[in-house]
Amino acid sequence: MYQAWLEIVELVATIQLSDEEDEFIWNFNFSGIYSSQSLYKVTNFRGIKSVHVSAVWNIKVPPRVHFFLWLVINNRALTRDNLAKRRKVEDENCLFCLERETIRHIFFDCVVAKSCWNIVSDVLGFQVGGSMLDIGKFWLSDKRHCVTNMITSAVIWSIWKLRNDLCFQRIGWRSMEMLLFRISGLLQNWMVICPVDKKASLKYFIDKIKLTASRILWLPYVNQPTT
Amino acid sequence: MLIKACLASIPVYLLSFIKFPKWAIKIINTHMSNYLWNDSVDSHKYHLANWELVSMKKEFGGLGLPNPRDLNICLLASWLRRYQVDKEKLWKELIDFKYDTTNPNIFQTNTIGASSFFKGFMRAAQTAKMGFRWNIGNGKRVRLWEDNWLGSSSLAIQFWPLYRIVNEKKKTVAEVWDGTDLK
């Protein structure tokens, strides 16, 4: 205890009293003057999230897709397993196959999603779509991967739209080609929001997806999910 | 987003004056979330994410809607900023005189009998206090043990066992330290 007292005496000895008034200084910014913005930022912080969660807003897609992707990464999209938390659901199975429908299943693990990602990987020339993290890592460098991001978002959005059509419009599932044409049509519409210098490369990929889709049409047994 | 630009900015002016009661903040939150998830009186929609997540800033992974409770505190505390910046202004002298803020500093002001604005302001100031540190000048405003002038916390926290037995609690630096001796 006495040791602590000596320590304090030592600390206090460093004080240089002067004639000026005591001043208080704000710690959370550089100017030392209080700003409500900086305090709000401190109180708003609720723990670390992975970096790509906030990167979703950087990519070039329509706002509703932004919002949907945000729901997907936070596992808040209304798939059947999430719906089951809110009310009774008779059938928790995926629309495409017979496994339980979760976010991870419908977008990545389902046979339809898997073969779709395989085709897209072929088109892009590198592997994409292992998981949300796998897609999200490209959001961080949107300048370089702008087109990739648009395509992967289009895939997720189209899978979701198709799933909803199957669910609510009672459209029957025909083939992979249906999904791929949706993706290319969607990307065609998003052409307007694509930066000018990236338009050519996006066009190239759209054509390539269309080409792959039409090939499936002629060979109906390739890449078709077992139902 | 429409909510952020429009709905959330309606109460901002009032938020910077009045400490909102809990029920008011609850109503504001309800209205904002109902709008966000397209809820109405006759049709209930699922709220897919809780308000905690929605009101996080975008850079922290939320939607970036303002959280009125926190915003209220932050804006009220920004009167401290005016207090900090306006050194020789009349209003400051008035406040100093009326509430006896020099006893020993503004964070320790007595709010009994104060106006409701000042009470609200003091609540916010108490919250913001943790973000301030003191630069000691003549030592008349800073309390040696309780105020935060060295490092990130006060001496009372850093030397708690000692603080429990000292006699000179709540004394300013100038009162206990004359340049050579510590009382």
Q: What is the mean pLDDT of chain A?
A: 81
**Percent of chain A whose pLDDT exceeds 90:** 0
CA distance B60 to chain A (A): 6
Residue burial B109-136, b: 16+ Cβ < 10 Å; e: rest: beeeeeeeebebbbbbbebbbebbbbeb
State the CB neighbour count (10 A cutoff) for residue B180. Answer: 6
Q: Residues 56..115 of A with a Cβ closer than 8 Å to B: which?
A: 57, 63, 70-71, 74, 76-78, 86
Complete DSSP assignment for B94-124: HHHHHHTTTSS-GGG---TT--HHHHHHHHH
Q: pLDDT band at residue A223, thresholds of 50, 70 and 90?
A: low
> Does A90 score more than 70 pLDDT?
yes
Predicted complex: ipTM over 0.90:
no
| Closest of B62, B83, B52, B35 to residue A21, by C-alpha | B83
What gap in Å lies between CA A26 and CA A34, rounded to an integer? 5
Looking at per-residue pLDDT, the higher value among A221 and B166 belongs to: B166
Q: Is the pLDDT of residue A218 over 60?
A: no
Q: Which of B51, B61, B59, B53 is nearest to B29 (CA)?
A: B51
Region A29-40 average pLDDT = 82
Distances in Å between the Cα of A124 and the Cα atoms of A137, A202, B96 are 16, 10, 68
Q: Do A8 and B63 touch (CB under 8 A)?
A: no
C-alpha span between B7 and B104 (Å, rounded): 41
B67 contacts A18? CB cut-off 8 A: no
Does residue B139 carry a pLDDT above 70?
A: yes
Whether this prediction's pTM lies above 0.90 is answered by no
Put simply, whether A197 touches B (Cβ < 8 Å) is no
Most confident of A25-29, B4-8, B104-108: A25-29
Say whether A22 and B84 touch across the interface (CB within 8 A): no
Q: CA-based diameter of chain A, in Å?
A: 90
Is residue A114 exposed (0-12), middle (13-18) or buried (19+ Cβ within 10 Å)? Answer: middle
- Pairing status of strand B132-135 against strand A23-26: antiparallel
CB contact under 8 A, B140 and A26: no
Which band of pLDDT confidence, cut at 50, 70 and 90, is reported for residue A227?
A: very low
Looking at the predicted structure, is the pLDDT value of residue A219 above 60? no
Residue A148 in tokens: 């990739």
The values of phi and psi at residue B182, to 5°, are -110, 125
User: Cβ A78–B46 below 8 Å, yes or no?
Assistant: yes
Q: A156: which 2 tokens?
A: 């997720």
Inform me whether the pLDDT recorded for A18 exceeds 70. Answer: yes
Closest CB from A18, A26, A71 relative to B131: A26
Backbone angles phi, psi at A86, to 5 degrees: -100, -35
Could you report the per-residue pLDDT of A48-71, keeping only the tens digit for each? Answer: 777 777 788 888 888 888 888 888
Decide: B76 and B16 in contact? Cβ < 8 Å.
Answer: yes
- Mean of pLDDT values over A147-170: 87
- What average pLDDT does the segment B2-30 reach? 80
Q: Cα dist. B120→A37, A100, A191, B72, B182 in Å?
A: 19, 52, 52, 10, 37
Q: Is a pLDDT exceeding 60 seen at residue A226?
A: no
Window from A186-200, B39-53, B64-78 with minimum mean pLDDT: B39-53
Chain A interface includes B17 (CB < 8 A): no
